[in-house]
Structure 1
Amino acid sequence: MPKEYKILAINPGSTSTKFALYQGEKLLYKDTVRHTDQELLSYSNIASQLEYRLIILLESLKKHQISMDLLDAVVGRGGFLKPLASGTYLVNEIMLQDLLGSKYGEHASNLGALMAYHIAHPLGIPSFIVDPIVVDEMESVARLSGIPEIERKSHVHALNIKAVSRKVANQLGKPYDAFNFVIVHLGGGISVVAERQGKLIDVNNANNEGPYSPERAGGLPSYQLVKLCYSGTFTEREMLSRLTKEGGFYSYLGTKNAIEVEERMNNGDQQAKAILDGMIYQVAKEIGGMAAVLNGEVDGIILTGGLAFSDYIVEQISKKIRFIAPIYIIPGEEELESLAFGALRILSGEEEAKVYN
């Protein structure tokens, strides 16, 4: 009988840390810790949150009497690295240094490999990442920006997007590379992608393009942005933080919590309603753009991520885009399961781990 490997999966997000323990494909334990804006803003950068998030995770595992000595591997969500092919990667020293130094960008998912390594290394077991946010399958034409000094990059919620497209394809009874989907991950950052036959041929860079989100400014009028950058009001670091961590809902309403924004709207706060509706408007417009990338040949539109739990958000987006294709709603994310299964494929010999260098 094949060994049922025990795998700890870790998914650090912008406002939460999620983790789960799997035995083979069976989920044994799952938990989510929410982080307040005040807690996270007290840290100077993402990497400095490492010890804080590790302590919370280890305390939860201890509370539930989960023995670390029984683990066979630890897998974390992959963050900002160099552009990579889809797959499972062994965490190594080069990867850790790139993430600690935010060489390619700063994002909560950078903590995934760092947390996995700091747990796995003392135990003498491997640590992995799976389908990081820099999975790059974009077509050449999609990389053009308008000026040669800037190339559009693929920064996307690849892990969940790949998982939900496979799930919908399975429901429809065909391999996922038989379909053209527009997939929308609605979370602290928002990814809208055109997936043609299993390849993410175009994406909005979820860190600085596309719709604004609970914490990101999204795409901005470039002329006004340049003027603001040179106004003397902000340093470079402050401006980057405003675009990626203090934009969107937070810049208008002082919160990154979409549930709070919707509650404020329901209690008569017209500004909250306007800002929420503005995000919905921009998401729908981006979906239309990705449908054009697919020449209108769209088999389905998939709405996923934490914000897809909101009936209001889903209903208002659907009103604007249902004429394009059937809509499939998969709220939350399949990321912990996808992480664990990616590591399991390596441990069982089904695949070979890729090396980051």
Structure 2
Amino acid sequence: MGFSILAINPGASSTKVALFDDESLLWSETVYHPQEELSAFGSVFEQRDYRLKAVLSLCREHGLDLRSLSAVVGRGGVLDPMEGGTYAVNEAMLQDLARGKPWEHASNLGGVLARLIGEMAGVLSCVVADVSVDEFEPISYVTGLPELPKRSLSHALNIKAVVRRASRELGGRPEDFDFVVAHLGSGVSVCAHRRGRMIDVNNANEFGPMS
């Protein structure tokens, strides 16, 4: 067996869990959380143990020995602006995620759950940057009102994954191509992706895809 990765993607009403052997998917499951159960919690962070129980239950169902893992990775939450990439979960990140800084979002539990399970397994815990990825060019922040600069908030995890896949299919790397990527889910992100960087995107929380 190669490098064994447990991946955790918490969403607003579900938690998706998958096990990879290097880049090969071994299994993937989604647990849906009824709204009446989630409404019992006062904050997203208070759902930590509830969602941890669901993840561990899936691992048991699939006969996964946590000690066999090489790493645990979670969806990156809403953090301060950062370059796209993979980051180790440290205490400072955990504090921000727990406080909901700069604000609460279900994805904030990705790093928290990765750290908890990583500690159980005795392996590295990390997040892949998502919502807060900021690779803007200077002009991208301009809105016409200097008091209200544009912010980079998007479905970056999916955007980056689509760019990597498309680049492979075209026989190159993300740095070789320019793309326009549209994430169409319950939220919409439309991104200009130039040579491996997200140089502009509509703010999925505040802007529409057109202006």
Amino acid at match of 1:200: M
SS class of match (2:119): helix
SS class of match (1:113): helix
Give the structure 1 partner of residue 69 of structure 2.
71
Distance (whole Å) between structure 2 residues aligned to residue 189 and residue 40 of structure 1: 20
Q: Post-superposition shift, 1:189?
A: 2.4
Give the structure-2-normalised TM-score: 0.92
Distance (whole Å) between structure 2 residues aligned to residue 6 and residue 148 of structure 1: 47
Q: Post-superposition shift, 1:208?
A: 2.7
SS class of match (1:109): helix
Amino acid at match of 2:73: V
Distance (whole Å) between structure 2 residues aligned to residue 187 and residue 46 of structure 1: 21
Distance (whole Å) between structure 1 residues aligned to residue 21 and residue 168 of structure 2: 23
> Structure 1 residue aligned with 2:203, among 199, 202, 205?
205
Q: Post-superposition shift, 1:62?
A: 1.0
Give the structure 1 partner of residue 148 of structure 2.
150
**Structure 1 residues 173-192: aligned runs within 5 Å:** 173-192=171-190
Matched, 1:160 2:158: yes
Report if the CA contact (8 A) 2:66-2:120 is conserved: no
How many equivalent pairs are there?
Answer: 211
SS class of match (1:17): strand
Instruction: Calculate the aligned-residue CA RMSD, in Å.
Output: 1.8
Distance (whole Å) between structure 2 residues aligned to residue 156 and residue 189 of structure 1: 9
Give the structure 1 partner of residue 10 of structure 2.
12
Give the structure 2 partner of residue 84 of structure 1.
82
Matched, 1:95 2:93: yes
* Structure 2: gaps spanning 5 or more residues: none
Give the structure 2 partner of residue 57 of structure 1.
55
SS class of match (1:85): coil
More strand as a share of residues: 2
Give the structure 1 partner of residue 105 of structure 2.
107
Give the structure 2 partner of residue 137 of structure 1.
135
Give the structure 2 partner of residue 126 of structure 1.
124
Give the structure 2 partner of residue 45 of structure 1.
43
More helix as a share of residues: 1
Give the structure 2 partner of residue 313 of structure 1.
none
Q: Post-superposition shift, 1:146?
A: 3.4
Q: Post-superposition shift, 1:181?
A: 1.7
**Structure 1 residues 228-307: aligned runs within 5 Å:** 283=209, 286=210
Q: Post-superposition shift, 1:122?
A: 3.1
Q: Post-superposition shift, 1:106?
A: 1.6
SS class of match (2:144): coil
Distance (whole Å) between structure 2 residues aligned to residue 5 and residue 30 of structure 1: 17
SS class of match (2:48): helix
Give the structure 1 partner of residue 33 of structure 2.
35
Give the structure 1 partner of residue 23 of structure 2.
25
Shift of the 74–104 alpha-carbon distance from structure 1 to 2, 3 Å rule, reads same
Distance (whole Å) between structure 1 residues aligned to residue 141 and residue 47 of structure 2: 33
Amino acid at match of 2:152: S
Q: Post-superposition shift, 1:171?
A: 2.1
> % of aligned pairs identical?
47
Amino acid at match of 1:109: S
Q: Post-superposition shift, 1:43?
A: 2.3
Report if the CA contact (8 A) 1:15-1:188 is conserved: no
Distance (whole Å) between structure 2 residues aligned to residue 87 and residue 158 of structure 1: 10
Shift of the 41–183 alpha-carbon distance from structure 1 to 2, 3 Å rule, reads farther
Higher CA-based Rg = 1
Task: Give deviations 1:208-261, integer Å, cap 9, x for gaps.
Answer: 322xxxxxxxxxxxxxxxxxxxxxxxxxxxxxxxxxxxxxxxxxxxxxxxxxxx
